[in-house]
Structure 1
Amino acid sequence: MTSPWIEIDGRRIGDGHSPYIIAELSANHNGKLETAMRIIEEAAKAGADAVKLQTYRPDTITLDCDSDDFKIKGGLWDGRTLYELYEEAHMPWEWHQPLFKHARKLGITIFSSPFDTTAVDLLEALGAPAYKIASFEAVDLPLIEYVARTGKPMIISTGMADAEEIQEAIDAARGAGCEQLAILHCVSGYPAPPEDYNLRTIPDMVERFGLVTGLSDHTIDNTTAITSVALGASLIEKHFTLDRNGGGPDDSFSLEPAELAALCRDAKTAWQALGQVDYGRKSSEQGNVQFRRSLYFVKDLKAGDVITEEAVRSVRPGYGLEPKYFELIVGKKLIKPVYKSTPVLYDYVQSANDNNS
């Protein structure tokens, strides 16, 4: 059976390819276009495959209301209204064109998470090569269908969604024509504790849904993300900032440049280490065969002498017969003289396979 794959901007993503690393810019621009530009530059330097934006306005994602329903309770943004948060966090739409141009000049893929149909229309006008559906929008099936009709690859994050809701999102995307679809295991906590991630869910998702599967990681280091590669994650998305102490809404749980570079390097190393089932001797082991144990004579013997247990030992290096032949060799006669520290070879032994000799 062929493993599923998708392709974004010419880069194939799936089981047979190194992990696709997405640097999530999110709100880490902190209201400055220059900061957003620098984040893209640093993501490219770190080796990320893509940088991702979020495309919304406060009034396309929530209502300007301070009733209890619209107030955030607990966590990083406790006490703020949704409108206040998104007013601060959103990326002005007029920034999108220069950011797309800048990323393309640097050779890093850029796409975004749209939060309504007008955002999709903007991104289509900019030639976005793919779309990401955020976890909180995974239940917005009309939005998923609208994105699917663009014909572009789609990635759906599944934070808070149960198996039934994930299947509904997949069915909506497929039903509206999406042919290249991936899903991300996600925990929508900011930050999220590693113990909440239950990474064993990833191989189950691969088997259950039959799609390219990855991880949207909100933990504060790379351990969870690297581990996910060993469990089948083909994509990794991490929030990225220039300075974790920058004071922005998402800075505190984002990676800094050196950490993103480490993720890009180590995720690829983990993927390379997975390899395939192979019990054979590896190329890096060839020169170390000499350090295995083998049988050596530990005293001088003449032709015609019978080999005793005291005359042979299992030692390093590995140029003699393997130790498993010890009992076969003991009791045999020598057909030529041997000297101490000589490897035991069949050439020295009379009829080594003849029990009557």
Structure 2
Amino acid sequence: MNKYITIADRKIGPAFSPYVIAEMSANHNGNLQAAFNIIEQAKKAGADALKIQTYRPDTITLNSTLPDFQIKDGLWSGRTLYELYEWAHTPWEWHAPLFEHAHRVGITIFSSPFDTTAVDLLEDLNAPAYKIASFEAVDLPLIRYVAGTGKPMIISTGMANAEEIEEAIEAAHTGGCKELAVLHCVSGYPAPAEDYNIRTLLDMQRRFGLVTGLSDHTLDNATAIASVALGASIIEKHFTLDRNGGGPDDSFSLEPAELKQLCIGAKTAWSALGQVDYTRKTSEVENVKFRRSLYFVKDLQVGEIITADAVRSVRPGFGLAPKYLSDVIGKTVIQPILANTSVKNDVFK
């Protein structure tokens, strides 16, 4: 298995804390200052990276009102594809200012390109990595073109079956990609948690041998944090300043306080995984004395036999362990015993 990939000097893999990507997508709602604010809030919340999407409506679809291009249900019902992407896209002239602002703020920024011209633009900006969106996972020529940049690549697998994922991975490798990760994803907006079947992450790690993560479209953080326990090294979530902002993706995105909790929760879950360890932990040392042990519950004189009603297993833990109870009963005491004193080996023979 590829043990890790590296994006902007940050190692990403099972041995490192989860890499949290805040996906801006269309949540700037056509306002460059809002986009700047999203970058700043993503950094403040603790995200490792801010991701955008690079396309124009004419590079992602056709300007047609024919039935094939009409959206008939879901969040964007009533629009054509062209209208949706005209509404949602991040203008190309914004890209340089966004990259510059992210660098000033101190957060990694990269993008999902949707055609070769988008890749060329991002190469001019020295993007440190690329993300292939789920809907483009079947666009093998695009994957090969991205692979040719030599940059790390992350592929989302929403809607793709195992064979299609294999094909995308093969295209990336043959195109020259040396650092590749795949994200389990459900391309519903939003997606119910029960659709995620995050045990799939374990199979993906075995089947593909790559750094694996989760692109999460559920409405809270439970699925994402749970995925860390199953080996997710990357968590991607849509991020907005205001879920009620009215933009294309606002309604299924995290707000700043929620993104902060995701960053904390994912890293806490990862740190809790640790390794197989049955030794006594540092935090337990002081509490050993409160375990149960054997105590005398009545006075005994020298030469008396210790009977069952003379000894009990109680807290604290300064006496012999309870497992020695049957060995103690029937022994003869060799010094005076006071009730409520611990049972030691040197008080009987």
The TM-score with structure 1 as length reference comes to 0.97
Following superposition, the deviation at residue 48 of structure 1 comes to 0.2
SS at match of 1:248: coil
Aligned partner of 1:282 in structure 2 is 281
Q: Structure 2: which amino acid aligns with 1:65?
A: S
2:264 matched to 1:265? yes
Aligned partner of 1:109 in structure 2 is 108
Matches within 5 A, 1:72-91: 72-91=71-90
Following superposition, the deviation at residue 280 of structure 1 comes to 1.7
Aligned partner of 2:129 in structure 1 is 130
Q: Structure 2: which amino acid aligns with 1:210?
A: G
SS at match of 1:175: helix
Judged with a 3 Å threshold, the aligned counterparts in structure 2 of structure 1 residues 3 and 280 are, in CA distance, closer, same or farther, namely farther
Question: CA-to-partner distance for each residue in 1:132-170, whole Å, 9 max, x for gaps?
Answer: 000000000000000001010000000000000000000
Following superposition, the deviation at residue 303 of structure 1 comes to 2.1
Determine the C-alpha separation between the residues in 2 that align with 1:241 and 1:329: 68
Determine the C-alpha separation between the residues in 2 that align with 1:71 and 1:227: 37
Following superposition, the deviation at residue 3 of structure 1 comes to 5.8
Unaligned runs of at least 5 residues, structure 2: none
Determine the C-alpha separation between the residues in 1 that align with 2:320 and 2:279: 19
Moved more, 206-215 or 298-307: 298-307
Determine the C-alpha separation between the residues in 2 that align with 1:23 and 1:306: 72
Aligned partner of 1:227 in structure 2 is 226
Aligned partner of 2:183 in structure 1 is 184
Determine the C-alpha separation between the residues in 2 that align with 1:102 and 1:231: 35
Between the aligned residues of both structures, percent identity stands at: 72
SS at match of 1:156: strand
Matches within 5 A, 1:208-247: 208-247=207-246
Following superposition, the deviation at residue 349 of structure 1 comes to 1.8
Question: CA-to-partner distance for each residue in 1:114-146, whole Å, 9 max, x for gaps?
Answer: 000000000001010000000000000000000
2:6 matched to 1:7? yes
Root mean square deviation of aligned Cα: 0.8
Determine the C-alpha separation between the residues in 2 that align with 1:347 and 1:42: 66
Determine the C-alpha separation between the residues in 1 that align with 2:87 and 2:346: 83
Question: CA-to-partner distance for each residue in 1:88-139, whole Å, 9 max, x for gaps?
Answer: 0000001000100000111100000000000000000101000000000000
Determine the C-alpha separation between the residues in 2 that align with 1:5 and 1:302: 69
SS at match of 2:263: helix
Determine the C-alpha separation between the residues in 2 that align with 1:349 and 1:146: 82
SS at match of 2:188: coil
2:298 matched to 1:299? yes
Q: Structure 2: which amino acid aligns with 1:306?
A: I
Question: CA-to-partner distance for each residue in 1:41-72, whole Å, 9 max, x for gaps?
Answer: 00000000000000000000000001000111
Aligned partner of 2:140 in structure 1 is 141
Following superposition, the deviation at residue 73 of structure 1 comes to 2.1
Whether the aligned pair in 2 keeps the contact of 1:205 and 1:213 (CA below 8 Å) is yes
SS at match of 1:204: helix
Judged with a 3 Å threshold, the aligned counterparts in structure 2 of structure 1 residues 230 and 196 are, in CA distance, closer, same or farther, namely same
Aligned partner of 2:22 in structure 1 is 23
Aligned partner of 1:55 in structure 2 is 54
Q: Structure 1: which amino acid aligns with 2:324?
A: Y
Following superposition, the deviation at residue 299 of structure 1 comes to 1.0
Determine the C-alpha separation between the residues in 1 that align with 2:72 and 2:283: 56
SS at match of 1:259: helix
Determine the C-alpha separation between the residues in 1 that align with 2:128 and 2:76: 32
Determine the C-alpha separation between the residues in 2 that align with 1:138 and 1:212: 17
Whether the aligned pair in 2 keeps the contact of 1:301 and 1:339 (CA below 8 Å) is yes
The count of aligned residue pairs is: 349
SS at match of 2:51: strand
Aligned partner of 1:354 in structure 2 is none
Following superposition, the deviation at residue 176 of structure 1 comes to 1.0
SS at match of 2:235: strand
Following superposition, the deviation at residue 282 of structure 1 comes to 1.2
Determine the C-alpha separation between the residues in 2 that align with 1:63 and 1:347: 91
Determine the C-alpha separation between the residues in 2 that align with 1:170 and 1:337: 78
Determine the C-alpha separation between the residues in 2 that align with 1:337 and 1:206: 65
Q: Structure 2: which amino acid aligns with 1:186?
A: C
Aligned partner of 1:323 in structure 2 is 322
Determine the C-alpha separation between the residues in 2 that align with 1:175 and 1:55: 24
Whether the aligned pair in 2 keeps the contact of 1:3 and 1:15 (CA below 8 Å) is no
Unaligned runs of at least 5 residues, structure 1: 351-357
Question: CA-to-partner distance for each residue in 1:16-37, whole Å, 9 max, x for gaps?
Answer: 1110000000000100100000
The TM-score with structure 2 as length reference comes to 0.99
Determine the C-alpha separation between the residues in 2 that align with 1:30 and 1:82: 17
Determine the C-alpha separation between the residues in 2 that align with 1:306 and 1:125: 90
Q: Structure 2: which amino acid aligns with 1:337?
A: P
Q: Which runs of 4+ in 1 moved over 4 A?
A: none
Aligned partner of 1:355 in structure 2 is none
